[in-house]
Amino acid sequence: MNVNRTSLQNSEFAMMENAEYMKEQHQEILLGKEEGLDVSLYSNPEFNWLQMEQIRMGIKDKVDVSKYADPSYSYETMKQIRLSFYSTKDLTAYLDRGFVDDELEQIRLALEDGVPIDTWLTDDMYVQQIYEIRIGLYEGLDVSSYADAQYNWMQMREIRLGLEKKLKVSFYSNCLFSHWQMKEIRLGLEAGLDVTPYAKLILSATDMKEKRQRLLQEKTEKHVEDDKSGIDIKALTKKEFSIFVEDNGNKAYAFITWIPGNMVTEADIYDALETRGIVIGIKRDAIAQMISQRRMNEKILVAEGTPAQDGQDGRYEFFVRLDLPRIPAPLPDGGVDYVNIEAFEMVEEGEKIAVYHPAEEGTDGQNVFGEVLHANKGIEKKPLKGKGFVIAPDGVTYLSKMNGKFEFQNGKIIISNMLIVREDVTAVTGKLEVDGSVHVIGSVYSGGYISVTGDIIVEHNVQAARLIAGGNVMIKKGSCSKNDCFIEAKGEVSGSFFEAANIEAGGNVRANYIMNSNINTMGKVIVSGTKGMLLGGRVCAVMGIDTYNLGNRSHLKTCLEVGRNAMYDKKQAMYAHQREQILNELSLLEERWHKILKDLPREREQAELLVKKLNAAIVAKDHELADIDANISTLMNLTDQDMKAVIVRGYAYEGSSIEVSKMKYMLPSQVSRVIFKLRNKNVVMVKL
């Protein structure tokens, strides 16, 4: 391939000035421009789109983004610095100490809550450790028992949980205990057991668990045997019961062991609750019933806290329909109703599209000890992306910028220009060339020409005309011509029927019958319904063909090709050409790179700027190359899959020719319900 090396070098600096970013980076710059912001502060290819988003949000909120607009900072670090500006908490000192990302978040939250995190924070702590210390301080616990980097975060958690339940954590606060060992000791203390027999370093966590369960069983299930000394045990008054605190302090249970002479009273239960510090949510009726009905060997809920209620997450309320059916409704015969489908939603300039409802604060609760259980605020959603809309000054209302077609695709709002033609399109109408979509209320007759970057929707019929679409084409009633109707679409082509049409599509071609048409598609050809028929003409589909009937009793010649076809080869050649061109451009840029490194300008700033611009151009070309390689891989996967090549759900008639990946098969006689597929380089029939 010949490349104009001189012209490329002459345009090199222009290209560097307008270095291409990835799609998401472009989107952040466009959003900034739409919001009237100074996008030059982040129009740098060294920033990924998430970093750009944080800088854009900071500019929008009028904070000093220069404090964090540094490509070496991750987007999460940028986010925490940005959020710290809102509460006037300076994180600079913590950045200098090496804290980043989620670690900064925990420090920021601690500072905002006014807890003395600095007293316990050391440079070698990581995020989970900082979290455990922050929560302990927030709940008013004596964190000196575990606020030490020698504990891992799981050990810290076990000690914190013990402190929350007012247990004697000194039994297990030795850093040599694993967190599993600590847990077994903590659970024993919660059950009111004497843990000294197993709170030993020489015992594994498994051994500890076995001993704890044995002690618990002995405590709750033992029966007193007759005393051999002759003492009347039944005559003795016993007060054997336990208080269990579970669910992180939210529930307290009483368990009265059945033994002869065990006379536990309500006062005994209340005294035990007071001793344990259980003061909230005491269930007096349950305690009274437990004693009066002598409910023994049964765990009874005697106190229950109020759980925290997390706040509702942020949400979008839409004022346009998002649930328009993308697939037409079925007809009684299994065909598809293309006539009555609503293909799109129209909006007007200034129309309210959506409103964002911010996340709500939660409602705090209390555990049985009277300690506050802090609720989490709901999670905020990211601003909607897309094009064709603006965000109102209130920051939450989304308004359409134009009269046009509304779509909501992959979480993005797309509003594009839609020209509505309220008359038939003919040669007299002239060429319709639209940057957007066209909706023809009538039909398109002989000589009609429509070329759009979006979709074409025709309410009635298409005859001898040419339709070219960057998106989809839908002809609700169908197309009938004398092989002088031409339809090209990068997306899908659909309609009730196609007769003598020439169709080239990047996506699927769908209809209720297709006759004498010439079709080339990178997707599938799908003919629906028990009356569905595919006969005559030539149909080439990379992904396969699915029809009810194939051919007819008159043996009308019908040619089908699946797998790699002329359209596939054309696209493959196009990708190869683009790839070669990008490689040549990369080679020139790299030559330029080496020349610049050998002869850098004397001024450092000028040299750095030149190197940075050239590097951005190389990175942009690398992204282009990666995109092309991805497209080539996707294209290859289309035919590498084990596809059901041609499916006939009704009858396939003699006279039909089927070709799968260049291997041909002529149907000798009528068959029904079959699949034609490639096996060992031969086309074979398999019963459906």
CA 392 to chain centre: 26
What span, in angstroms and rounded, lies between the C-alpha atoms of 455 and 469? 6
The answer, yes or no, to whether residue 494 has pLDDT greater than 90, is: yes
Please name every residue paired with 189 in a beta bridge, in sequence order, or none if there are none: none
Given a contact cutoff of 8 angstroms between Cβ atoms, the answer to whether 364 and 374 are in contact is: yes
**380 and 480 housed in the same domain:** no
Q: Provide the pLDDT for residue 45.
A: 81
State residue 351's pLDDT score. 93
Q: Please name the residue that has the structure tokens 């925490």.
A: 80
Report pLDDT digits (tens) over 537-588: 999 998 889 999 998 888 788 899 888 767 777 777 888 888 888 888 888 8
Answer yes or no: do 321 and 288 share one domain.
no
pLDDT band at 324 (very low <50, low <70, confident <90, very high): low
Residue 88 in this model has a pLDDT that exceeds 90 = no
**pLDDT (0 to 100) of residue 470:** 93
- One domain, residues 133 and 77: yes
Q: Which residue has the higher pLDDT, 592 or 308?
A: 308
99 and 45 assigned to the same domain: yes
Specify if 620 maps to a domain. Answer: yes
Q: How many helices (H) and strands (E) does the chain have?
A: 15, 37
pTM of the model: 0.51
Are residues 324 and 373 both part of a single domain? yes
Select from 409, 432, 462 the last residue of a domain.
409
308 pLDDT above the threshold of 80 = yes
Work out the pLDDT band at 342, boundaries 50, 70, 90: low
416 is a domain residue = no
Domain boundary among 409, 436, 470: 409
In a domain, 116, yes or no: yes
Tally the domains of the chain: 5
Last residue of a domain, one of 450, 465, 495: 495
Residue for token pair 């299930």: 221
Pair 125, 273 in one domain: no
Residue 541 covered by a domain: no
Instruction: Give me the sign of the Cα torsion angle 512, 516, 521, 524.
Output: positive
Interval 522-536: pLDDT, tens: 889 999 888 889 999
* Amino acid in position 232: D
Q: Which of 556, 534, 510 is nearest to 650 (CA)?
A: 534
pLDDT tens digit string along 122-132? 888 888 888 88
> Does residue 145 share a domain with residue 98?
yes
User: Using CB atoms within 10 A of its CB, is residue 607 exposed (0-12), middle (13-18) or buried (19+)?
Assistant: middle
Return the pLDDT at 514: 94
- In what helix (H) or strand (E) does residue 635 lie, and over which residues does it extend? helix 604-640
Residue 557 has a pLDDT of 85
Query: Does residue 212 fall inside a structural domain?
Result: no
Mean of pLDDT values over 302-316: 92
Taking 3-state DSSP, the helix, strand and coil percentages for the chain, each rounded to the nearest 5, stand at 35, 25, 40
DSSP string, 513-558: EEEEEEEEESSEEEE-STT-EEEEEEEEESSEEEESEES-TT---E
Residues of the chain above pLDDT 90, percent: 22
Structural domain span for residue 83: 17-188
Q: 323 and 296 in one domain?
A: no
Q: Give the phi and the psi of residue 682 in degrees, each rounded to 5.
A: -135, 145
Query: Does one domain contain both 323 and 384?
Result: yes
> What residues contact residue 394 under an 8 Å CB cut-off, 6+ apart?
none
Q: Which residue has the tokens 């905020």?
A: 380
- Do 286 and 320 belong together in one domain? no
Query: Across residues 181-204, what is the average pLDDT?
Result: 86
CB 510 within 8 A of CB 335: no
Q: What pLDDT is recorded for position 343?
A: 65
Quote the CA–CA distance of 178 and 183 in Å, as a whole number.
9
pLDDT value, residue 475: 94
Q: Are residues 37 and 145 in the same domain?
A: yes
Q: How far apart are CA 485 and CA 2, in angstroms?
A: 37
Cβ(209)–Cβ(184) under 8 Å? Answer: yes
Residue 9 belongs to some domain of the structure = no
Please tell me whether residues 332 and 398 are part of one structural domain: yes
For the chain, state the CA radius of gyration: 37
Residue 250, in any domain of the structure: yes
Q: What's the full length of the chain, in residues?
A: 688
Is residue 654 assigned to a domain?
Answer: no
